[in-house]
Structure 1
Amino acid sequence: MIDLQRIAALIPGQWERVIATVLLLAAGFVVSQLWARYLGRGDVPAERRRLQLVWARNIIWSVVLFAIASVWASTIAGFALSLAAVAGAMLIVSKELLLCVLGYLYLTFVRPFKIGDVIEIGPVHGRVIDIDMLATTLAEHGDTGLPTGKTAALPNALLLTLPLKNTSSTGDFVLHFLRIPVPVALAGDLARIEAAATEAAVAATKEWQAQAEAHLRQIADESFIELPSGRIRVFWDFADPERLLLCVRLACPEKMRLQVGQDIFKATWQALAAHGPVQRPDPS
């Protein structure tokens, strides 16, 4: 009697619903058993008998669960309202925290980058050194591509809102775009400047050029995407009216991008200086 009183104290005013729930569950069990026995006595094929048994059982228990939900409707509605209010308050208070967790899930399943990759997200550029549930930490790189000695911790929520660039997505060899500014005053001898840059790029990349081209072809075949061949290409960017940009596209090891760029820049202008001053356009 003492135990019954304690149980009654836990669910005051709900005994009628508890009894109705027990009776509904018992009725569902009894009807399911009776239907199974009825099917067992007939001459129905086993496959069809199993189909009818599953079909009838699903209907019976769907009706039972609907009846139980109707009995407890008011209680369930009150609980759901309270739960929704609590969930809404937590969402408002911890929106940024939730976005960081969602960003981590995105990173886990999509895997746009991994530890060691060099990425750009928003204004930050650097190598990934740590990833946790709330933030991604980068060793920051400056405009020259060299590490600055600083680290940047980016909330994972930024992965859902800002564009992300992974400059290490092609593995051992990456495509590097070198831009060499050329004053407009020297536009009279563009062919000579272009030839010097091409020769410098060939000399700087001859050790791995064939290997890089084969690597990029393999990546393209495995990923079913079209990648540039990796061959050296030189072209001009004349969007800025005050200067020209000589653009050199080449393939090189990811960690040697800065060194290769410096070598090509110096070799280009040294070759031009060795052959005399670059011709200036005739003002007339």
Structure 2
Amino acid sequence: MTLDNIFVDTQGDIKKSVYVIFVLILFYITNHIFSFILKKTSSINIETKRRYVVNTNISLTIIFVFITLYIYSTELKNLAFSLAALMVAIVLITKEVSLNIMGGIYKTFSGGFIIGDTIEIEGKRGSVIDRDLFTTTLLEVGPNKTSHNYTGRSVIIPNSTFLTNRVTNESFLKSFVLHTFKVILSPDCDWEKAEKILLERSEFYCSEYFEQAQVVLNKLFTKSHLETPILKPRVQINFTSKDEIELNVRITAPARTKGSVEQKILKDFLREFYK
């Protein structure tokens, strides 16, 4: 077999597979050049770079699929009728794949979350680090709902999951969040003292964020036609049972450091309350 037979058909035309390979190589080079330029750009933060790279990969993949379908459109038209029954069987067999693609499209256009957001779905919780047409990858946060540390494990979620399950986005407010945590006391404890300490320590660690957070949240809540909530720390007292008093503490803190701020408040509370 000569080199001409590989690239040229019997009519002397360039084979369509050559065009597909050429497009694939072109997209591969384009993707690497784009990634190289982003890597050298210091004015863009890491999360934005990662989001650009992931979105570029998805866009190039979609464009490549459409170009390939266009190149082979004649063959596909000729085979359409004869393969109708086979296509039905393939659809039934690849139902999950189809649902994953639909879920990926729904997830992309719904705007429920982006790369870097912390989400929870079906009991799985973590930061979104990658997504494509079939799956979404989370860097797990745990080990429970009250923890804010990475476990070091990744969780790969089929996109079909997003079609039938509720998604909780913990980063909806973006750079600042209204973060809530609980302190449980026995009924014989001095709950007024506990409330006072929690408010004082929360004010101490969070007051520096109020002004900046107010600007950010005002824009977000005004856009959604909602009233901006009070940003200063609040403590709500509840009775969960006759043996427990529950103090719910709400603070305003940067999204990425809410866990460490919570820990600082709790450690100071334990030192002062039980000394």
TM range (shorter): 0.5 to 0.7
Counterpart amino acid of residue 258 in structure 1: G
Moved more, 237-246 or 134-143: 237-246
Q: CA deviation at 1:99?
A: 0.8
Conserved in 2, the CA contact under 8 Å of 1:232 and 1:251? yes
Conserved in 2, the CA contact under 8 Å of 1:216 and 1:229? no
Instruction: Indicate the residue corresponding to 2:111 in structure 1.
Output: 111
Structure 2 CA distance for partners of 1:241 and 1:126, relative to 1, 3 Å: farther
Q: Distance in 1 between matches of 2:200 and 2:265?
A: 9
Counterpart amino acid of residue 219 in structure 1: L
Counterpart amino acid of residue 173 in structure 1: F
Q: Does 1:184 align with 2:187?
A: yes
3-state DSSP of counterpart to 1:163 = coil
Equivalences, count = 193
Larger Rg: 1
Q: Distance in 2 between matches of 1:271 and 1:129?
A: 40
Instruction: Indicate the residue corresponding to 2:134 in structure 1.
Output: 134
Conserved in 2, the CA contact under 8 Å of 1:213 and 1:251? no
TM-score, with structure 2 as normaliser:
0.65
Instruction: Indicate the residue corresponding to 2:96 in structure 1.
Output: 96
* Match among 122, 131, 149 for residue 146 of structure 1: 149
Q: Identical aligned pairs, as a percentage? A: 31
Conserved in 2, the CA contact under 8 Å of 1:213 and 1:229? no
Aligned-residue RMSD, C-alpha: 2.0
Q: CA deviation at 1:101?
A: 0.3
Conserved in 1, the CA contact under 8 Å of 2:185 and 2:191? no
Instruction: Indicate the residue corresponding to 2:263 in structure 1.
Output: 262
| 1:1-284 matched pairs, under 5 angstroms | 83=84, 85-142=85-142, 143=144, 144-186=147-189, 189-274=190-275
Structure 2 CA distance for partners of 1:80 and 1:230, relative to 1, 3 Å: farther
Counterpart amino acid of residue 108 in structure 2: T
Q: Distance in 1 between matches of 2:125 and 2:141?
A: 6
Q: Distance in 2 between matches of 1:88 and 1:238?
A: 58
Runs (4+) off by over 3 Å: 79-82, 85-88
Q: Deviations over 1:82-117 (max 9, x none)?
A: 73x444322321111111000111012112111111
Unpaired stretches in structure 2, ≥5 consecutive residues: 1-79
Counterpart amino acid of residue 183 in structure 2: I
Unpaired stretches in structure 1, ≥5 consecutive residues: 1-78, 275-284
TM-score, with structure 1 as normaliser:
0.63
Counterpart amino acid of residue 214 in structure 2: E
Instruction: Indicate the residue corresponding to 2:63 in structure 1.
Output: none
